[in-house]
Chains A and B, each alone.
Chain A
Amino acid sequence: MRFLLLFSRQGKLRLQKWFTSMSDREKKKIIRDMTTMVLARQARSCNFLQWKDLKIIYKRYASLYFCLAVESQENELLALEIIHRYVELLDKYFGNVCELDIIFNFEKAYFILDEFLMGGEIQETSKQIVNRSIEASDMLQEVRFTDSPCVRREAGF
């Protein structure tokens, strides 16, 4: 995996994870290219695109586009499953996750991602284990959150 981007229907970036080192300018260009390409796609097209030497897999969940770039030897159908797994993890954590959750709690979205993927590869295939790790880490935070989802959204730093 080379990078993972989340952006809204209007093209606003909500999360960016880069798995290789790139300059800021290159990153900005890629973000621009991805958002333009993906947002231009027709409703019922397939979820795969070819871009330079990479395969782009994208999927829309409600108002958010999840966009993943993989190398040519990787399995696109599995990439769809990876995206779906991440969404499930977010959903379990936030309880019926929506875009606003990710906007207001972007740092948590990153924490969850970092328990699921590392260096562009999957580190844990069990949903429960990822969730337990996140919860345990949350408990360690000196500024704690309660279990209630709405409080999760508001409290914190």
Chain B
Amino acid sequence: MPAPIRLRELIRTIRTARTQAEEREMIQKECAAIRSSFREEDNTYRCRNVAKLLYMHMLGYPAHFGQLECLKLIASQKFTDKRIGYLGAMLLLDERQDVHLLMTNCIKNDLNHSTQYVQGLALCTLGCMGSSEMCRDLAGEVEKLLKTSNSYLRKKAALCAVHVIRKVPELMEMFLPATKNLLSEKNHGVLHTSVVLLTEMCERSPDMLAHFRKLVPQLVRILKNLIMSGYSPEHDVSGISDPFLQVRILRLLRILGKGDDDSSEAMNDILAQVATNTETSKNVGNAILYETVLTIMDIKSESGLRVLAINILGRFLLNNDKNIRYVALTSLLKTVQTDHNAVQRHRSTIVDCLKDLDVSIKRRAMELSFALVNGNNIRGMMKELLYFLDSCDPEFKADCASGVFLAAEKYAPSKRWHIDTIMRVLTTAGSYVRDDSVPNLIQLITNSVEMHAYTVQRLYKALLDDISQQPLVQVASWCIGEYGDLLVSGQCEEEEPIQVTEDEVLDVLEGLLVSNLSTPVTRGYALTAIMKLSTRFTSVNRIKKVVSIYGSSIDVELQQRAVEYNALFKKYDHMRPALLERMPIMEKTASNGPTEIVQTNGETEPSVVEAKHPPPVTQPTNQANDLLDLLGGNDVVPVIQNTVSTKPASAGGELLDLLGDLSLSGGTSPAPAPSVPTSQPSFFLDGLTSQPLFNDIAAAGIPPMTAYNKNGLKIDFTFERANPNPNIAVITIHASNSTEADMTDFVFQAAVPKTFQLQLLSPSSNVVPALNQGTVTQVIRVLNPQKQQLRMRIKLTYTHKGSAVQDLAEVNNFPPQSWQ
């Protein structure tokens, strides 16, 4: 059999392949040859074959059949064989292959070899890919070598020990004695790897950390020598002596000094020295300064030193080198919380970085800019940030827009400024704004009552320009629906009022309905807005026509709305003005910028203009527009109300909104003027989540009951009288879980006899937390016109400890007051 081709020859041949297929063919041929050579147990050329296999492996071809051959090479006496064998082991064999354990014995022997380079190979392989089992077996050998006087071996043993500790942390203790005089070495290689070993031990064990704190003076001395000593050809990099070691020592000092006053004080001087004396013209000097800054910020350094550190970062920001600017921005971001004022001094430089061409730098600068915004600099900062928003890449726009909203909400100097800022964001980055910021904006606009005319005018103008940005369009249509009367009245205090006719406004809104650019959600907004204008405009016929057209729309959502609005026109026209009245001020809960639609919970935080908000009493009074009633066809007598209670704060512009505030203009009170709304009761509607609309009233004093209590799941019913309509009982179920595991995918279903009607609203959640840490609530409305005894069958399904549970139960113990 001819000698297998040489490695370099093979490489040359493969490189001549012109296509992937040609290369694959060559590789396959060679692999076949190599396989047969392996089968023949050819010692002479094994090394060559494995080397070729490694080359092919790098090209991406499978090479697992060479694993055992690597082991044979490692076991060989020839150094060339061992070298390739160990390389192959590191590339092909890792701890996932069972075969790898066969290496252990060879490595053990080689660790005790007479030639240090063979020992080195073994240490290197163990230190790179040794599995936990191998590490356990060979840790003793490594520990022995850690104590040798041969610096070549000692440095490798130290790093091998690091690997052993990473793999098998329990073995850390056994290396402790050997670390005793590691730092007294003169050899930089050993010093460096020793510092790495000490760092690893300190990071893993607080005891070790405490133990090694006593090394701080020694480390400080070594560092000082490095800085003060003259030129050392062996370790010099651009005039700095062994920067790798310096950085590593600084890192260890950081860990030792953190949280410890004494150690921090011991290193204060040297840190100041490094910070002021290091040459900054090249990257290597800046690398050391960077590490120094990180150390200063992490330990308990005195304030002068901290200011020095931040100033270094400030200087970094002005450096021409992009990498250094990037690193500075990242570090400043970390320190901005703790050293806010110091970082503020560099604000203008940071803002300049927004204009940098580099994407990574821009992103960091943007994050940092937002962190620096406060009440004093909001106007200036916002100008820069809005300019940035205009011109930045799309990948930034969403985050930037959210950041702007958040900052504006926290620090807006005036309402007008706030609205202008929002407008600016919507018009420049309107399509990148997060969907849930739409309701937040609407809430904000509602609350700025004196700005309504101005806002609607600006939004209208924006719509004339561009209807492609959905969030903008949605907010604009909502506002036009609400404040369209202000728009056509031509009054606006803040700026030059525009002359708009009702028809023009309706043109715009109808345009949204038909445009291809509008999403279904937007169309919903537009339709609702048109409907609202029927009470604010005079051209009702046109509106009636539009609404009736959409009664046959393919879009189910639109169709439903149109049909309901039609119904309003036809059968319930007397209720229309009340229904479509101006929205009340919405309560704000958490102002965290873009958040989910929040439900208010009855906290009456007085906002800008208000009528009195009486305490959340809950005599539910008018139900004039109870959806249930509408469907049930009961005639309702509107009652004058004067209470307020919780309001659903969703401004999603859905049906919910429309009927969200019901006032009762029964006989006496005229339709409220479209300015300050009087307090309204809120209303319960389909689709509303489990917000209990009326606080638990003991209006009728119906006692709660336990409907179900089995296997740790308890379901209580509480009752409310929703209205003077005695036919409707509102039951709230409270599900709690006393077991130790959560009940997930919890679904509650109920059925009632035929004479009743049941309406089940959405539950608060479908996870019942363990150990009674919380309850799931859900509201049931039962219509019982025949006043029969209430009975119910319930079905519960949930997942508990991995298995699905299902149960049926009858509930017969309803208190008589609930249905009489």
Contact A46 B84 (CB under 8 A): no
Q: Which residue of B lies closest to A144 (CB)?
A: B80
**A156 on the B face (CB < 8 A):** yes
On whether the beta carbons of A46 and B326 are closer than 8 Å, the reply is yes
> In the assembly, what is the distance between CA of A45 and CA of B124, in Å?
36
Interface presence of B231 (CB below 8 A): no
| A 94-137 contacts with B by CB, 8 A | 103-104, 106-107, 110-111, 114, 118-119, 121-129, 133, 136-137
Asked whether B318 is an interface residue with its Cβ less than 8 Å from the other chain, the reply is no
Within 8 A of B (CB), among A40-90: 42, 44-50, 75-78, 80-82, 85
Bound CA–CA A45/B579 (angstroms): 59
The reply to whether B360 and A46 form a contact with Cβ atoms under 8 Å apart is: yes
- CB of B127 within 8 Å of the partner chain: yes
Nearest residue in A to B94 (C-beta to C-beta)? A21
Bound Cα distance A157, B127 (Å): 27
Q: Is the CB of A107 within 8 A of B127?
A: no
- How many residues from A make CB contacts under 8 Å with B? 54
CB neighbours of B358 from chain A (8 A): 42, 44-46
**A18 vs B55: C-alpha distance when bound (angstroms):** 16
Instruction: Please name all residues of chain A whose beta carbon is closer than 8 Å to the beta carbon of B54 when the two chains form the complex.
Output: 106-107
Smallest Cβ-Cβ distance to B131: which chain A residue: A21
A13 at the interface (CB under 8 A from B): yes
B residues near A118, Cβ cutoff 8 Å:
123-124, 127-128, 156, 159-160, 163
B160: A residues at CB distance < 8 A: 118-119
Contact B115 A140 (CB under 8 A): yes
Q: Which residues of A contact B156 (CB under 8 A)?
A: 118, 123
A141 is an interface residue with CB less than 8 A from chain B: yes
List the A residue with the shortest CB-CB distance to B247: A78
B357 x A48 contact (CB < 8 A): no
CB-CB under 8 A for A142 and B80, given A103-B11, A126-B235, A156-B6: yes
- In the complex formed, the residue of B with least CB distance to A46 is B322
Complex Cα distance A126/B51, Å?
29
Chain B CB within 8 A of A153 CB: yes
Q: How far is the CB of A154 from chain B (nearest CB, A)?
A: 6
Alpha-carbon separation in the docked complex, A118 to B129 (Å): 10
Say whether A77 contacts B287, CB under 8 Å: yes
| Stretch touching chain A among B189-197, B523-531, B735-743, B745-753 | B189-197
Neighbouring B residues of A106 by C-beta, 8 Å = 54-55, 58
Which listed residue (A28, A75, A82) contacts B291, Cβ 8 A? A75
Is residue B242 within 8 Å, beta carbon to beta carbon, of the partner chain? yes
Residues of B within 8 A of A125 (CB): 188-189, 192, 235, 242, 244-245
A10 at the interface (CB under 8 A from B): no
- Indicate with 1 or 0, residue by residue over B69-104, a CB within 8 angstroms of chain A CB atoms: 000000000111001100100010011100000000
Contact B324 A133 (CB under 8 A): no
- Given A13-B58, A126-B188, is A121 in contact with B193 using a C-beta cutoff of 8 Å? yes
Contact A77 B193 (CB under 8 A): no
Q: CB within 8 Å of A: which of B212-239?
A: 234-235, 237
Chain B nearest CB from A157 CB (Å) reads 4
- Does residue B569 face the partner (Cβ distance < 8 Å to A)? no
**When chains A and B are docked, how far (Å) is the Cα of A140 from the Cα of B51?**
18
Chain B residues closer than 8 Å to A76, beta-carbon distance? 323, 327
- The answer on a CB contact under 8 Å between A48 and B189 is no
Contact of A122 with B124 at beta-carbon distance under 8 Å, contacts A103-B11, A111-B83 already known: no
| B7 in complex: contacting residue of A28, A128, A157, CB < 8 Å | A157
| B779 → A minimal CB distance (Å) | 44
A44, A46, A107, most chain B CB atoms within 10 A: A46
Q: Is the CB of A129 within 8 A of B189?
A: yes
Contact B7 A80 (CB under 8 A): no
Are A121 and B162 touching (Cβ within 8 A)? yes
Of all chain B residues, the one with the shortest Cβ separation from A153 is B8
The answer to the question of B198 belonging to the interface, with a C-beta cut-off of 8 Å to chain A, is no
Q: Mark B113-141, 1 if CB is under 8 A from A, else 0.
A: 00101001001100111010000000000
Q: Is the interface of A mostly helix, strand, loop or mixed?
A: mixed
- Which residues does chain A contribute within 8 Å of B323, judged by CB atoms? 46-48, 76-77, 80
Among candidates B51, B79, B193, B291, residue contacting A78 with C-beta atoms closer than 8 Å:
B291
Across-interface contacts of B290 in A (CB, < 8 A): 75, 77
Are A77 and B235 neighbours in the complex by a CB distance under 8 Å? no
* B278-291 interface bits toward A, Cβ cutoff 8 Å, 1 = contact, 0 = none: 00000110110011
A94 CB, nearest partner CB in chain B, Å = 14
Establish whether residues A142 and B78, one from each chain, have CB atoms under 8 Å apart when the complex forms. Answer: yes
Given the contacts A118-B159, A121-B193, A129-B234, A81 and B244 also touching, CB distance less than 8 Å:
yes
Asked if B275 is at the interface (CB within 8 A of a chain A CB), the reply is: no
Is B325 at the interface (CB under 8 A from chain A)? yes
Name the residue of chain A whose CB is nearest to the CB of B151.
A129
Contact pick for B284, options A81, A124, A141, CB 8 Å: A81
B48 beta carbon closer than 8 Å to chain A = yes
CA A16 – CA B11 in complex, angstroms?
17
Partner of A157, one of B47, B115, B152, B242: B47
B648 within 8 A of A: no
**Are A46 and B361 in contact, CB atoms less than 8 angstroms apart?**
yes
Closest chain-A Cβ to B116's Cβ sits at a distance in Å of: 9
Q: Is B2 an interface residue (CB 8 A)?
A: no
- The residue on A at minimum CB distance from B242 is A125
The answer to whether B155 has its CB under 8 Å from any CB of chain A is yes
B60 contacts partner chain A, Cβ-Cβ < 8 Å? yes
Please, which residues of chain A bring their CB within 8 A of the CB of B83?
Answer: 107, 111, 137, 141
* Given known A78-B243, A81-B287, contact A123–B193 (CB-CB < 8 A): yes
Q: With contacts A48-B326, A107-B51, A118-B160 known, is A133 near B242, CB below 8 A?
A: no
A126 and B151 alpha carbons, distance in the complex (Å): 13
Q: Does A23 contact B (CB under 8 A)?
A: yes
B117:A140 contact, CB within 8 angstroms = yes
In whole angstroms, what is the CA distance A82 to B8 when docked? 29
* Chain A min CB distance to B2 (Å): 15
Known: A118-B127, A125-B245. A137 touches B360 (CB 8 A): no
The answer, yes or no, to whether B556 is at the interface (CB within 8 Å) is: no
Closest to B11 in A: A104
> Contacts A121-B193, A140-B79: A75 and B322 contacting too (C-beta < 8 A)?
no
Tell whether, in the assembled complex, residue B291 and residue A157 are in contact, meaning their CB atoms are under 8 Å apart: no
Residue of A nearest to B55 (CB): A106
Indicate with 1 or 0, residue by residue over B510-544, a CB within 8 angstroms of chain A CB atoms: 00000000000000000000000000000000000
- Contact residues in B for A129 (Cβ distance below 8 Å): 189, 234
Q: List 30 A-B contacts (CB under 8 A).
A: A14-B58, A21-B131, A23-B96, A28-B60, A42-B357, A45-B322, A45-B357, A46-B322, A47-B322, A48-B360, A76-B323, A78-B244, A78-B247, A81-B243, A81-B283, A103-B11, A118-B156, A119-B128, A119-B160, A121-B196, A123-B192, A125-B188, A125-B189, A125-B245, A126-B188, A137-B117, A140-B79, A143-B80, A157-B51, A157-B84
Give residues in A with beta carbon < 8 Å to B: 13-16, 19, 21-23, 28, 42, 44-50, 75-78, 80-82, 85, 103-104, 106-107, 110-111, 114, 118-119, 121-129, 133, 136-137, 140-143, 153-154, 156-157
Q: Which 4 pairs across A and B sit closest by C-beta, in order of nearness?
A: A77-B287, A46-B322, A157-B48, A124-B189
